[in-house]
Amino acid sequence: MAKKKEPVLIDGKVVSQKIKDEIKKEVADLIDKKDSSPHLAAVLVGDDPASQTYVAAKEKAAHSVGIISSTYRYPEDITENELLEVIEFLNNDDEIDGFIVQLPLPAHINEDHIISAIHPSKDVDGFTPVNIGNMVLNRPGYLPATPYGIMELLKAYKINTEGKHCVVVGRSNIVGRPVSILLSQKRNPGNATVTLCHSKTKNLKEITLSADILICAIGKPQFITGDMVKEGAVVIDVGIHRLGDDSAKKGYRLVGDVLFKDVYKKASFITPVPGGVGPMTIAMLLKNTLLAHKKEFYS
Which residue in 10, 23, 41, 145 binds ligand GUN (CB under 6 A)? Answer: 145
Residue 270 interacts with ligand GUN (CB under 6 A)? Answer: no
CA distances for 255 relative to 50, 99, 115, 132, 271, angstroms: 15, 29, 30, 29, 11
DSSP annotation string for 46-88: S--HHHHHHHHHHHHHHHHTT-EEEEEEE-TT--HHHHHHHHH
Residue 186: CB minimum distance to ligand GUN, A: 26
Number of residues located near ligand GUN, criterion CB under 6 A: 8
Residue 257 interacts with ligand GUN (CB under 6 A)? Answer: no
Contacts (CB under 6 A) with ligand GUN, residues 115-144: 125
Residues 6+ apart with CB under 8 A from 247: none
Residue 208 interacts with ligand GUN (CB under 6 A)? Answer: no
Strands 252-255 and 241-244: antiparallel
Q: Which span (30-38, 60-68, 96-104, 245-253) binds ligand GUN, by CB under 6 A?
A: 96-104
How many residues are there in the chain?
299
Start-to-end CA distance of the chain, whole Å, equals 47
Residue 178 and residue 135: Cα distance in Å, rounded? Answer: 8
Note if 97 is an active site residue: no
97, 122, 123, 125: which is the annotated catalytic residue? 125
Note if 102 is an active site residue: yes
Residue 212 interacts with ligand GUN (CB under 6 A)? Answer: no
Which residue in 37, 102, 271, 288 binds ligand GUN (CB under 6 A)? Answer: 102
Residue 56: CB minimum distance to ligand GUN, A: 13
CA-nearest of 174, 102, 176 to 143 is: 174
20, 58, 122, 230: which is the annotated catalytic residue? 58
Contact between residue 209 and residue 229 where contact means Cβ atoms under 8 Å apart:
yes
Residue 100 interacts with ligand GUN (CB under 6 A)? Answer: yes
Phi, psi of 234 (to 5 degrees): -95, 125
Q: Which span (17-25, 101-109, 134-142, 291-299) binds ligand GUN, by CB under 6 A?
A: 101-109
Exposure string over 195-211, b if 16+ CB within 10 A, otherwise e = bbbeeebeebeebbbeb
Which residue in 41, 67, 96, 101 binds ligand GUN (CB under 6 A)? Answer: 101
Contacts (CB under 6 A) with ligand GUN, residues 47-86: none
Note if 5 is an active site residue: no
Q: Which span (69-77, 100-108, 185-193, 201-209) binds ligand GUN, by CB under 6 A?
A: 100-108
Cis-peptide into 274, omega within 30 deg: yes
Residue 152 interacts with ligand GUN (CB under 6 A)? Answer: no
Strands 213-216 and 193-197: unpaired
- Interacting residues with ligand GUN (CB under 6 A): 100-103, 125, 145, 174, 281
Residues carrying an active site annotation: 58, 102, 125
